[in-house]
Amino acid sequence: MTGLHDFKVAKGYSAETSGGILTMMHPQNAREFIKEAMDKYGQTTWIVGHVTKGSKKAQLRDDVGVMQVSESFLRD
């Protein structure tokens, strides 16, 4: 990927979130969280993965993409 510094984001080794928040919650709560973030703050949020039983290692799918977010309720 071009434009990424060597933070190993695409390989899943970086905690770099560029100011975003990555959180885990029960799937039943996710839709309400997404709705509240939009209704209360005008902030778009995404479900980016799910937890499964396995080897206790993170995996990125081959079709993973990096998305540039240009708008946030936190920006002036």
Enter the tokens of residue 56. 């206790």
pLDDT at residue 8, rounded to an integer: 67
Mean pLDDT of 2-22: 62
| pLDDT tens-place string over residues 14-56 | 665 556 677 889 888 999 999 998 999 888 888 888 888 888 8
Q: What is the secondary structure of 38-66 as a DSSP string? A: HHHH-----------SSSS-----TT---
* pLDDT band per the 50, 70, 90 thresholds, residue 1: very low
Check whether 67 has a pLDDT greater than 90. Answer: no
